[in-house]
Structure 1
Amino acid sequence: MFLSNITLFLQIVEKGSLVAAARDAGLSPSTVSERLAALEAHFGVVLLNRTTRAISVTDEGRALMEGAKVILSEVEDLEARIRLGAQSLSGAIRISAPCDLGRAIVAPEIDQFLLEHPAISIELLLSDGYVDVVGQGIDIALRFGAITDSSLRVRTLSKKQRITCASPDYLKKHGTPSKPEELKNHNCLVMRFGENLDNIWRFGIEAKAPEETSLQTINVRGDRVTNDGELARQWCLKGFGIILKSELDVGPDIQTGRLIRLLTEYTPSSIPLQMLFPPSRAQPRRVREFADRLALRFQSTEFEFE
């Protein structure tokens, strides 16, 4: 009953209310309230602040939430090893990834992983904006750039080049920029990451010696802004403007000629691709194995450009 009460507590947090959790668990709201009270009495603390309108997790409740996910995952792994054998993996994995990266690379890896481990289930959440890894119960999150939440565990995969590119049709109609400052005269397709607009593009000038390298900052603009990286790529393919994207996103398009790489003498700064995990001390084996699979895939994904 203790573990089932902890599971119910996680459902309450995920659903946002006792009533919704009761509906999901097939219990009455009064039963859910009684079992939550029993759990709080067991620990001698308040786990949830409750009002007539909403609930909020206390510091003690958040600590229980983080630890409980690890414990329950280990219980699932133990049950799988006993029932199905030591080599079997089972349980759920929740993954967050940028939209185009998730579709192009993560989703095919999920397909293969599930073929090999049919007792696993995976939820893939695609978003180019901020994601609350702990609050949303994410097991693995993929993100580009610096990580501001120091509580998360970070595994840096590799640095990937950002590439300025456009379609042949766009360049035929509007010309090809030869210097970064000429981007001010072009329609640039801009990404939004949460509240931040990615309209400041930075370029390093290739030089014979490192000390000669300089940085150019260009404030770009255009008639289209989106928080979906895949949509920005599709707009670019249709000839609507110029984009600045990771080589992971546009590398195949450049190799096939669907997009043309621009400003090759002015290299935008590379950004790290990072894998984030909640701040727990242990990870279920299913999460570790899928994370290792993704890491190998990204390490082996390299593009050669002329």
Structure 2
Amino acid sequence: MLFENLSLFLLIVEKGGLSAAGREAGLSPTSVSERLGALEKHYGATLLSRTTRSISLTDEGRVLVEGARRLLADAESIKSTIKLGSEQISGLVRLSAPVDLGRNRLVPILDQFLEANPNISIDLNLTDGFLDLTGLGIDIAIRYGALPDSTLKVRKLSEGRRVVCASPSYLSAHEIPEHPSELVHQQCILMRFGNSIHREWQFHSQGRTFKVLVSGRRIANDGDQVRQWCLAGHGICIKSYIDVREDLEAGRLVELLGDYSLPGVDLQMVYPSGHATPHRVKILMNEISSKLAV
């Protein structure tokens, strides 16, 4: 019964309330409250602070969230190994990835993985922002660059070469820049990270650094939208090479300023530390590494 109560506790946290969790689990509000009370009695601590309008985790509740996810994941992994054997895997894998990379490169990998493993389910979160992996119960995240959470384990997937590019239609209507400083006269498509807009583009060539403050009428916090605007001829953008490699090879986009390099941003796979990684997650991580690494 403890495992069932732990699962219900996590559902309450995820849904933001006892009533919503009860509806999801098919339980009455009284039953949910009683089982939460049993869990609090078992641990001898208040796990949730409740008002008529909201709930919030106590310090003990936050500790239990991480511990419960770890315990349930380990239990599921043991169950899968015993019931299905080492050749089959089952269960849910939660993962997150940047929007552009996720839609165009990761989803085909996941589709193949799901077809080969009918007992696996995938919960995919596409976002260009950073997420609290532990708090959200995410098993794997694909991310560019250094991460603020140093407690995460990291597996490098590829060197993070970035390119400046534009569509042939844009270049036919505008002067092609030969030097980074000429970008100030161009329409640049800008990426937003939280409250920060990436306006200062930095280049290197022959030991020298060039910083250019660019501008443009289009700004987005979605990397795929930046790419779509660029393909449509609305301006010049910076993209990771892995995101636009096929566009460049097909001639839909043209790389600019090839004599100047941009600071690299490595592509990495990150995952929570501190507990054993479930077998199903390890298998998917290996699949992503073999097919996404370039």
Partner of 1:106: 106
Compute the displacement of 1:29 (Å): 1.2
2:70 maps to 1:70: yes
Partner of 1:187: 187
CA distance in 2, matches of 1:291, 1:59: 32
CA distance in 1, matches of 2:195, 2:291: 31
CA distance in 1, matches of 2:177, 2:152: 40
CA distance in 1, matches of 2:37, 2:112: 43
What per-residue deviation string (whole Å, max 9, x for no partner) do you get for residues 140-168 of structure 1? 11111121122333323232101000001
Partner of 1:304: none
Partner of 2:251: 257
2:237 maps to 1:246: no
What per-residue deviation string (whole Å, max 9, x for no partner) do you get for residues 154-187 of structure 1? 3232321010000011011011101111111000
SS of corresponding position for 2:74: helix
TM-score normalised by L of structure 2: 0.96
Matched residues, number: 294
Partner of 2:174: 174
SS of corresponding position for 2:46: coil
CA distance in 2, matches of 1:217, 1:44: 58
Is there any run of 5+ residues in structure 2 with no aligned partner, and where? none
2:31 maps to 1:31: yes
- Which residue identity does 2:86 align to in structure 1? A
Compute the displacement of 1:88 (Å): 0.9
SS of corresponding position for 1:267: coil
What per-residue deviation string (whole Å, max 9, x for no partner) do you get for residues 31-53 of structure 1? 11111111111111222222222
Root mean square deviation, CA, Å: 1.3
2:239 maps to 1:201: no
SS of corresponding position for 2:135: coil
2:290 maps to 1:292: no
Is there any run of 5+ residues in structure 1 with no aligned partner, and where? 208-212, 302-306
CA distance in 1, matches of 2:259, 2:143: 27
Identity between Structure 1 and Structure 2 (%): 49
Would you say the 8 A contact 1:73–1:91 is kept in 2? no
CA distance in 2, matches of 1:198, 1:91: 39
Would you say the 8 A contact 1:190–1:224 is kept in 2? yes
TM-score normalised by L of structure 1: 0.92
Would you say the 8 A contact 1:67–1:280 is kept in 2? no
2:290 maps to 1:281: no
SS of corresponding position for 1:176: coil
What per-residue deviation string (whole Å, max 9, x for no partner) do you get for residues 57-109 of structure 1? 22322222112222212222222233322211000011111011001111111
Partner of 1:226: 220
Which aligned runs of 4 or more in structure 1 are off by greater than 3 angstroms? none
Change (3 A) 1:122 1:298: same
Would you say the 8 A contact 1:66–1:280 is kept in 2? no
